[in-house]
Chain A
Amino acid sequence: MTHKDEILARLRRRAIPDCPMPDVCLEAITYPDKVKQFTETLRLVGGDAVELTPGDDPNRLLRELYPDARVIASNLPGVTIATVNPDDLADPRDLDGVHLAVVAGDFGVAENGAVWITHNTKERALYFIPDYLAILLHRADIVNNMHEAYGRARVSAGFGVFISGPSKTADIEQSLVIGAHGAKGLTVIIL
Chain B
Amino acid sequence: MKDNYPKAAARFLRDAERAKWHDDTLWMVRQKRDANARSIPEWEQLRHLASQIKTHTLLRLDHYLEQFADSAAANGITVHWAADAVEHNRLVLEILQSAGVKKLVKSKSMLAEECHLNPYLQAAGIEVVESDLGERILQLAGQPPSHIVMPAIHLTRQAVGKLFEEKLHTDPGNSDPTYLTRAARRHLRQHFLTADAAMTGANFCVADSGDVVVCTNEGNADMGVALAPLHVVSAGIEKVIPDAGALAVYTRLLARSATGQPVTAYTTHHRAPRPGCQMHVILVDNGRTDTLANPEHAQTLKCLRCGACMNTCPAYRHAGGYAYSYLIPGPIGMQLGMSRDPRAHAGDIPACSLCYSCNDACPAKVDLADQTYRWRQQLDSMHLASAPKKLISRVLRLLFTSPKLYENVLRLAPLVNRLPRFLVYNRLNAWGRDREMPPFAGESFTRAWKRGKVKASREKSK
Question: Do chains A and B interact in one complex?
Answer: yes
| Residues of chain A at the chain B interface (Cβ within 8 Å) | 2-4, 6-8, 10-22, 24, 26-29, 41, 44-45, 92-93, 96, 109, 111-114, 123-125, 127-129, 145-147, 149-151, 153, 155, 157-175, 177, 179-183
Known: A11-B292, A171-B132. A92 touches B226 (CB 8 A): yes
Interfacial chain B residues near A153, Cβ < 8 Å: 244, 269
Q: Which of B133, B226, B237 contacts A172 (CB 8 A)?
A: B133
Closest A residue to B164 using CB positions: A172
A164, B151: Cα distance in complex, Å: 22
Within 294-310 of B, Cβ neighbours of A (below 8 Å) are at 294-295, 298-299
Q: Are B269 and A171 in contact (CB under 8 A)?
A: no
Please, how many angstroms separate the alpha-carbon atoms of A171 and B251 in the complex? Answer: 21
- Bound CA span A54–B338, Å: 62
B residues with CB within 8 A of A: 25, 28-29, 40-42, 45-46, 49, 52-53, 55-56, 58-59, 61-62, 65-66, 69, 75-76, 81-83, 87, 131-134, 137, 150-153, 155-157, 160, 177-178, 180-182, 185, 188-189, 192-193, 209, 211, 217-220, 222-223, 226-227, 237, 242, 244-249, 251-252, 259, 261-274, 283, 285, 289-290, 292-295, 298-299
Task: Pick from A8, A27, A29, A171: contact of B134, CB below 8 A.
Answer: A171
Residues of A within 8 Å of B294, CB to CB, are 15
Given contact pairs A10-B293, A157-B272, A181-B192, A174 touches B265 in the complex (Cβ within 8 A)? no
Docked-complex contact B81 and A45, CB < 8 angstroms? no
The distance from the CB of A19 to the nearest CB of chain B, in whole angstroms, is 4
User: Are the CB atoms of B49 and A24 closer together than 8 Å?
Assistant: yes
A24 to B251, CA, bound (A): 14
Would you list 24 pairs from A and B whose C-beta atoms are within 8 A, ordered by A residue?
A: A14-B292, A18-B59, A26-B49, A29-B42, A111-B40, A113-B262, A113-B263, A114-B267, A125-B227, A128-B222, A146-B252, A146-B263, A150-B245, A155-B211, A158-B273, A161-B266, A162-B266, A171-B151, A171-B181, A173-B25, A173-B160, A177-B177, A181-B131, A182-B218
Complex Cα–Cα for A20 and B52 (A): 8
On whether the beta carbons of B293 and A2 are closer than 8 Å, the reply is no
Which are the 10 A-B pairs with shortest beta-carbon distances? A158-B272, A182-B219, A180-B218, A171-B134, A112-B262, A10-B289, A125-B226, A112-B263, A15-B295, A167-B219
Which B-chain residue is minimally distant from A3 (CB atoms)? B81
A172 touches B152 (CB 8 A): yes
A45:B153 contact, CB within 8 angstroms: no
Q: Are A16 and B58 in contact (CB under 8 A)?
A: yes
Output the least CB separation between A166 and chain B (Å). Answer: 7
A11 to B153, CA, bound (A): 36
A4 & B81 in contact (Cβ 8 Å cutoff): yes
Q: Contacts A4-B81, A24-B246 given: A167-B181 contact, CB under 8 Å?
A: no
On chain B, the residues within 8 Å of A6 by CB distance are: 81, 83
Q: Give Cα A43 to B204, complex, Å.
A: 27
Q: Is A169 within 8 A of B75, CB to CB?
A: no
Q: How far is the CA of A149 from the CA of B226 in the complex (A)?
A: 24
Say yes or no: B274 contacts A16, CB within 8 Å.
no
Contact B292 A16 (CB under 8 A): yes
Q: A3-B87, A21-B56, A165-B265 are in contact. Are A147 and B298 (CB under 8 A)?
A: no
Q: How far is the CA of A114 from the CA of B290 in the complex (A)?
A: 38
Q: A177–B263 contact, CB under 8 A?
A: no
Where chain B touches its partner, the secondary structure class is helix
Whether B181 and A177, one on each chain, are in contact in the complex, defined by CB atoms closer than 8 angstroms, is: yes
Q: Are B189 and A147 in touch, CB under 8 angstroms?
A: no
**Cα(A183)–Cα(B177), bound, Å:** 17
B56 touches A22 (CB 8 A): yes
Q: Report Cα–Cα, A158/B49, bound state, in Å.
A: 28
Distance in Å: Cβ of B202 to nearest Cβ of chain A: 15
User: In angstroms, how far is the closest chain A Cβ from the Cβ of B133?
Assistant: 4
A160 to B55, CA, bound (A): 27
With A8-B62, A162-B266 given, name 6 new contacts (CB 8 A).
Answer: A3-B82, A22-B52, A93-B227, A125-B223, A180-B181, A180-B185
Bound CA span A171–B146, Å: 12
A13–B217 Cα gap in the complex (Å)?
38
Question: Complex Cα distance A17/B132, Å?
Answer: 38
If A15-B293, A169-B133, A173-B177 touch, does A21 touch B25 (CB 8 Å cutoff)?
no
B28, B55, B218 — which one has the most chain A CB atoms within 10 A of its CB? B218
The CB with the most chain B CB atoms within 10 A, among A14, A96, A163, is that of: A14
From A21, A45, A158, A173, contact of B242 by CB (8 A):
A21
Q: In this complex, which of A114, A169, A172, A179 has the most chain B Cβ atoms within 10 angstroms of its Cβ?
A: A172
* A170 to B307 Cα, complex, angstroms: 15
> Closest CB of chain B to A137's CB: distance in Å?
16
Instruction: Select the residue from B45, B155, B266, B293 with max chain A CB neighbours within 10 A.
Output: B266
Looking at the assembled complex, report how far the CB atom of B94 sits from the nearest CB atom of chain A, in whole angstroms: 13
8 Å CB contact of B222 from A14, A18, A161, A177: A161
Contact B261 A45 (CB under 8 A): yes
Q: A21-B242, A93-B227 are in contact. Are A8 and B65 (CB under 8 A)?
A: yes
- Does the CB pair A14–B293 fall under 8 Å? yes
A residues within 8 A CB of B133? 169, 171-172, 180
Residues of A within 8 A of B178 (CB): 177
Q: A146 — which chain B residues lie within 8 A by C-beta? A: 248, 251-252, 263
Neighbour of A29 across the interface among B41, B246, B266, CB < 8 A = B41
- Within the complex, the shortest CB–CB distance from B329 to chain A, in Å, comes to 17
A56 to B218, CA, bound (A): 34
Distance between Cα atoms of A67 and B28 in the complex (Å): 37
In-complex Cβ contact of A175 among B40, B157, B265, B268 (8 A): B157
Bound complex: CA of A109 vs CA of B262, how far in Å? 11
A16-B298 CB under 8 A given contacts A173-B177, A177-B178: yes
Contact B269 A161 (CB under 8 A): yes
Determine which of A3, A24, A167, A170 lies in contact with B150 in the assembled complex, contact meaning CB atoms within 8 Å: A170
For A165, the chain B residues whose CB sits under 8 A away are 265
